[in-house]
Amino acid sequence: MIDYKSLIASKINCPLPQADLVNLITETADDSFGDYSFPCFRLAKEMRMSPVAIAQKIAGEVVLDDVVVKVQPVNGYVNFFVDRVGAIKEVLSDVQSAGCHYGESNVGNGKTICIDYSSVNICKSFHIGHLSTTAIGSALYKLYTALGYKVVGINHLGDYGTQFGKMIVAFKLWGDRTTAEREGVKELQRLYVKFHQEEVEHPELTDQAREWFVRIEKGDAEAQELFEFFKQITLAEVKEIYKRLNVTFDSWNGESFFNDKMDKPLQMLKDKGLVTESQGAQVVDLSDHKMPPCLLVKSDGSSLYATRDIAAAVWRKQEYDFDKCLYVVAYQQNLHFKQFFKVLELADLPWAKDLVHVAYGMVSLEDGAMSTRKGNVVLLKDVIDKAVEKSMEIISSKNPDLPNKQTVAEQVGVGAVLFSALENAKIKDITFTFDRVLNFDGETAPYLQYTHARCNSILEKATNRGNADYNALDDIETMRLAKLIRQFPQAVVDSANKYEPSILSALLIDIAQAFNKFYIEHRVLTDDLGATSARLQVVEATEIVLKKGLSLLGIQAPEKM
């Protein structure tokens, strides 16, 4: 693929180094001003000329060729026009050669990325608040895999704490196995909510819960059996949701897995003189770093999140020797991650710098934040079901004879839900409404899926082809589309490196919009077989990129809609 910026930089005669020139050259936002632009303002002081005069001088010295065909100075900028047909042909050739692997690379070969995401809580509902971490983490998993990394997806289960003592007390008082097996997490959630309601009037329940949690920690047979019963009920349900969302994990080691792995990291911190005592608790003083102390062990001897996360990080480094370990967790936990990352850094562990908190915005309901204790949640399964139901209604009204309607409705509904968490910058808070998630117009996954299906429909109708006449592609709509497709591999890299799948989402929307503009302006199937063949290659390239891009976001691309 031609490196246009480097080629153009080599044609510019000025005092700046080549690398600086390449960094200054940008693609133009307005096609009427060419394809690439070089600003001359930075040169004014050194060359002792106005930017306008510098632009005129540089433009007058550029040697044109069969790639850079025109140059134009405009208000202190030098604008470069490249050969349209040549640029389009190159993009089409690259996509055709790579096929379904377009956008993939081997930049990550030999490197390992651990991604901690979703991390559902045992005995609690898989609600809409888990959507962002699940969708973002899964997209990053797929993006890094496409770039050649060995990726380890980790579901760090919330399966440790006094809440499980509470669950045992609630279950023994108000629950039974038959109902729990039939109703699943819904019944466990009912018991959890009831415990917190009863706890207000009967504080002795809290003491009983603590006693049962101690029994879990000590390996008591009855406590362990009940805990495993709750865990299996929860995992059976969440795994069904993960299957629908096309989300996978390589490790399900939760907090309880690290219960017997905390002593060594704690001793290491003590040996390095980092641990001090404060009111009976063991802490790491972080006042020099403008943070509260990192609490490791409470005065009663019990551990905290930071202790278990430190133990988990140490274990993961030993087990996977990661180059980076990402934590896809809401920004409300910013301080927690800053604290325990800093503790590992102070312990002189060189890999502490490779721990990254991928923060995202919170999801709330229109009438306030969700609370598991109060039962104020929107179940993710219900959201998916409603999205699928809505997509089935639309498909049935627009294409009642479509084969496999239920399968397509599932793909469209699930895609709509996933895309809602991936369409905007991850740090943005979301006020969840069904209308927004289930909006099938505009910049949505169904729009991308429909554009992909349109491409397939055109290709399916193409019965006759001749030798491609690429001169038929010498128009602004095709050039705009080709430029966007050309950006796809870099968007994959940027989405991974910046931990921001929305970069890819936005490009896919731009590609779909550019394709639909191309489709409106230029008839693909015509009597001119040369033009038809050339335009069909544009359709094929678009289809490949949309399908690949959607798959990297975890979204399927139906052949027909």
The span from the CA of 76 to the CA of 54, in Å, is: 7
Q: Does 532 share its domain with 392?
A: yes
CATH number at residue 487: 1.10.730.10
Question: Considering 190, 217, 238, which residue would you say is the last residue of a domain?
Answer: 238
Tell me: the pLDDT tens digits for 189-228? Answer: 899 999 999 999 999 999 999 999 889 888 899 999 999 9
Q: Does 194 share its domain with 62?
A: no
Please report whether residue 177 resides in a domain.
yes
**Cα-based distances in Å from 435 to 4, 199, 282, 439, 561:** 44, 37, 49, 6, 22
Per-residue pLDDT at 32: 87
Please report whether residue 449 resides in a domain.
yes
Per-residue pLDDT at 364: 64
Q: Does 402 share its domain with 530?
A: yes
Q: Is the pLDDT of residue 372 over 70?
A: no
Residues of the domain holding 225 = 165-238
Q: Does 418 share its domain with 543?
A: yes
Q: Is the pLDDT of residue 1 over 90?
A: no
Residue with tokens 């909510």: 193
Tell me: the pLDDT tens digits for 232-259? Answer: 999 999 999 999 999 999 999 999 999 8
Please report whether residue 421 resides in a domain.
yes
Q: How confident is the model at residue 428 (pLDDT cuts 50, 70, 90)?
A: confident
The span from the CA of 444 to the CA of 436, in Å, is: 10
Q: Is the pLDDT of residue 369 over 60?
A: no
Please report whether residue 388 resides in a domain.
yes
Q: Is the pLDDT of residue 376 over 80?
A: no
CATH number at residue 76: 3.30.1360.70
Per-residue pLDDT at 371: 52
Selection from 460, 444, 462 nearest residue 512 by Cα: 444
The span from the CA of 561 to the CA of 449, in Å, is: 8
Selection from 385, 506, 397, 396 nearest residue 438 by Cα: 385
Q: Is the pTM of this model over 0.85?
A: yes
Please report whether residue 97 resides in a domain.
no
For residue 322 the two structure tokens come to 């990661």
Q: Does 421 share its domain with 519?
A: yes
The span from the CA of 23 to the CA of 524, in Å, is: 38
Please report whether residue 123 resides in a domain.
no
| Count of domains for the chain | 3
Per-residue pLDDT at 127: 87
Q: How confident is the model at residue 440 (pLDDT cuts 50, 70, 90)?
A: low
Per-residue pLDDT at 305: 87
Please report whether residue 102 resides in a domain.
no
Question: Considering 44, 60, 82, which residue would you say is the last residue of a domain?
Answer: 82
SS3 content of the chain, % helix, strand, coil (to 5): 60, 10, 30
Q: Does 400 share its domain with 501?
A: yes
Q: Does 35 share its domain with 180?
A: no
Q: How confident is the model at residue 365 (pLDDT cuts 50, 70, 90)?
A: low
**Cα-based distances in Å from 282 to 134, 266, 314:** 34, 10, 19
Please report whether residue 199 resides in a domain.
yes
- Which residues lie across from 329 on neighbouring strands? 359
Contact 116, 326 (CB under 8 A): yes
Per-residue pLDDT at 368: 55
Selection from 266, 249, 250 nearest residue 258 by Cα: 266
Q: Does 187 share its domain with 42?
A: no
303-322: average pLDDT:
95
Q: What is the mean pLDDT of the chain?
A: 93
Per-residue pLDDT at 463: 83
Question: Considering 238, 264, 294, which residue would you say is the last residue of a domain?
Answer: 238
Tell me: the pLDDT tens digits for 484-532? Answer: 999 999 999 999 999 999 999 999 999 999 999 999 999 999 999 999 9
